[in-house]
């Protein structure tokens, strides 16, 4: 068990490093987008056009790959051997390729109607540009389908680093475009660069697949038992993982009617920062434990399964709770540091930071939802994620309707945060009944984390106001304010964690040491 824990820390730590690099490059990409296009017509049209294919992919296929394919592939590897597992994967990749091609063709044909559906608030000029860009970008569905199929194979074979590096490749392509070609080709060239970047996500995984002995074989057999098992599991899993992409589509739709369409860009920029901060920690841990949970489920090791979930939730809470409060307090200086330059003015900063403030409320829900949904999928049970997904989407729609007029982008961000929290609660109740993951000791640890986080938050507020009193409102000043606030907050939180003897600090320090070691070596 100790070796498994060390292995998990090492895998999660390295994966966080790679994921963090990819997320930072993604943030740099968004900085270029904001600096060149701000929240204007071209930015809003491009953001909407790039989101629609991803929404279609996430809704239809991402769930099958991340949640349905991996457990069945692991079962084949364990019971039938590598040859049969690879044949199943070839069958699956072929099917995904065919289906994504069909979706791409239909998406190109019906692009004007999709623009109206997902961005009904756009004026005629913005809608026309969005439609043109959407037709160019729809093939990203094919590239993403193949790339995520490769991810499923590699992660099932305990290779997490190359899949985590996908976004590094795609973001580098787009950053290079911004640096050297944007002035000449504008938003149309950016669209082509975006398409090439997504193709790179599949290409960079091929060498690792070859090292693992995998060779793709064009093979399609819809009667295959393994494929049938994936497809049977796919439907409830598919709806259960609709929460984030569909809620994003809903929020984009409502945002298209705010500030002459600028609400779309503001929501996107804020969501990018939020996703980077929460995603580096939550998704890295979740992706590492999912294949492990799948194998525990196959081995019917219920005790280890429950302990793994509880330990993961506790370690995640140690990071997420203070991050939630910290990001809320520092939302404005963070947005100023990242985006406010070029065409991105005070107004763009104001609406984007407001969205980020309220998005931050959803961090704990996002983390719990991601961990518990993977626990259900590892057991090949999709009913509860299905129920939680449907209810969460309904909550998001109702809150968007209720809050958009009075709170504009802030209301949309609250709707997203609350919907994620509702989904987490719905998943937690049956998981607790079945696995008893939450004990009295667990609750005491969470209380200690909350107390430590409150002390941290008070410190950050005081330090921010005190440091800001000596500085103006420039970029360097905001960097100093954020740095002093974050460092003081970390010191106070760490000190409280030591005084209160929070157990999860060991796991977090282990991951942090791996990150620092990797960073030093690189």
Q: What is the pLDDT of residues 25-73, one digit of tens each?
A: 888 888 888 888 887 788 889 988 988 887 776 655 655 566 677 778 8
On whether the CB atoms of residues 453 and 500 are closer than 8 A, the answer is no
Once rounded to an integer, what is the mean pLDDT over residues 459-465?
A: 94
Once rounded to an integer, what is the mean pLDDT over residues 241-268?
A: 81
* Cα–Cα nearest to 328, from 488, 418, 460: 460
* Number of CB atoms found within 10 A of residue 303's CB: 9
3-state secondary structure of 381: coil
Per-position b or e across 265-281, b if 16+ CB within 10 A of its CB: bbbbbbbbbbbbbbbbb
Lowest mean pLDDT among 99-108, 368-377, 508-517: 508-517
Q: How far apart are CA 277 and CA 333, in angstroms?
A: 15
More confident residue, 508 or 85: 85
Answer yes or no: is pLDDT of 104 > 80: yes
pLDDT value of residue 188: 94
Answer yes or no: is pLDDT of 514 > 60: no
Q: How far apart are CA 264 and CA 39, in angstroms?
A: 8
pLDDT value of residue 373: 82
Extended beta strands in 47-96, E state = none
Q: How far apart are CA 50 and CA 245, in angstroms?
A: 12
pLDDT value of residue 521: 45
Q: How far apart are CA 122 and CA 262, in angstroms?
A: 9
On whether the CB atoms of residues 249 and 54 are closer than 8 A, the answer is no
**pLDDT bucket at 329, cuts 50 / 70 / 90:** very high
Q: What is the DSSP letter of 69?
A: I
How many whole angstroms from its chain centre is CA 24? Answer: 13
Please report which residue ranges of 224-329 form alpha helices under DSSP H: 225-240, 243-255, 262-298, 302-329
Q: How far apart are CA 300 and CA 317, in angstroms?
A: 27
pLDDT value of residue 150: 86
pLDDT value of residue 334: 92
Q: What is the pLDDT of residues 111-161, one digit of tens each?
A: 999 998 888 888 889 999 999 999 999 999 898 888 888 887 887 777 767
Lowest mean pLDDT among 102-106, 254-258, 412-416, 471-475: 471-475
- For the chain, the first-to-last Cα distance in angstroms comes to 30
**pLDDT bucket at 358, cuts 50 / 70 / 90:** very high
3-state secondary structure of 258: coil
pLDDT value of residue 28: 87
What are the structure tokens assigned to 364, written together? 């704990």
pLDDT value of residue 512: 47
């Amino acid at each position: 068990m100790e070796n498994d824990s060390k292995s998990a820390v090492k895998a999660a730590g390295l994966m966080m490093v790679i994921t963090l690099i990819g997320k930072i490059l993604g943030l740099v990409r968004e900085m270029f987008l904001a600096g060149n296009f701000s929240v204007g017509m071209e930015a809003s049209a491009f953001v909407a056009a790039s989101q629609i294919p991803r929404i279609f992919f996430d809704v239809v296929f991402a769930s099958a790959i991340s949640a349905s394919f991996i457990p069945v592939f692991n079962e084949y590897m364990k019971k039938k051997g590598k040859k049969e597992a690879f044949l199943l994967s070839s069958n699956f990749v072929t099917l995904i390729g065919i289906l994504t091609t069909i979706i791409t063709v239909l998406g190109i044909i019906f692009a004007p109607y999709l623009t109206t559906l997902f961005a009904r608030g756009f004026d005629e000029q913005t809608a026309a540009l969005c439609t043109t860009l959407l037709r160019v970008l729809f093939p990203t569905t094919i590239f993403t389908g193949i790339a995520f199929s490769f991810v499923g194979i590699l992660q099932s074979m305990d290779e997490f680093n190359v899949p985590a590096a996908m976004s590094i490749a795609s973001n580098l392509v787009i950053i290079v475009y911004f640096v050297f070609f944007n002035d000449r080709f504008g938003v149309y060239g950016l669209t082509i660069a975006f398409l090439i970047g997504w193709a790179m996500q599949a290409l960079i995984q091929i060498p690792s697949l070859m090292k693992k002995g995998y060779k793709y074989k064009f093979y399609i057999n819809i009667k295959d038992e393994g494929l049938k098992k994936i497809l049977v599991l796919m439907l409830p899993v598919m709806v259960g993982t609709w929460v984030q992409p569909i809620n994003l589509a809903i929020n984009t739709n409502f945002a298209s009617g705010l500030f002459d369409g600028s609400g779309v860009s503001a929501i996107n920029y804020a969501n990018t920062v939020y996703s980077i901060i929460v995603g580096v920690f939550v998704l890295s841990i979740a992706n590492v434990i999912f294949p492990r949970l799948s194998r525990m489920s196959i081995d019917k090791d219920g005790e280890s399964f429950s302990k793994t979930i509880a330990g993961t939730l506790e370690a995640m809470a140690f990071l997420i709770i203070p991050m939630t409060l910290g990001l809320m307090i520092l939302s404005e200086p963070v947005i100023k540091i990242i985006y406010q330059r070029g065409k991105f003015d005070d107004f763009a900063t104001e609406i984007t930071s407001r969205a980020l403030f309220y998005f931050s409320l959803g961090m704990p829900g996002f983390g719990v939802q991601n961990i518990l949904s993977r626990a259900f999928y590892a057991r090949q049970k999709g009913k509860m994620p299905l129920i939680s997904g449907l209810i969460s989407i309904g909550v998001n729609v109702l809150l968007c309707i209720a809050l958009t007029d009075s709170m504009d982008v802030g209301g949309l961000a609250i709707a997203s945060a609350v919907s994620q929290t509702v989904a987490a609660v719905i998943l937690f109740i049956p998981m607790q009944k079945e696995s008893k993951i939450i004990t009295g000791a667990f609750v005491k640890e969470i209380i200690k984390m909350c107390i430590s986080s409150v002390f941290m938050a008070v410190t950050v507020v005081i330090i921010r106001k005190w440091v800001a009193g000596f500085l103006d409102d420039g970029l360097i000043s905001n960097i100093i304010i954020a740095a002093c606030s974050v460092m003081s907050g970390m010191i106070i939180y760490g000190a409280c964690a030591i005084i209160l003897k929070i157990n999860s600090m060991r796991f977090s320090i282990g991951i942090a040491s791996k990150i620092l070691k990797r960073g030093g070596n690189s």
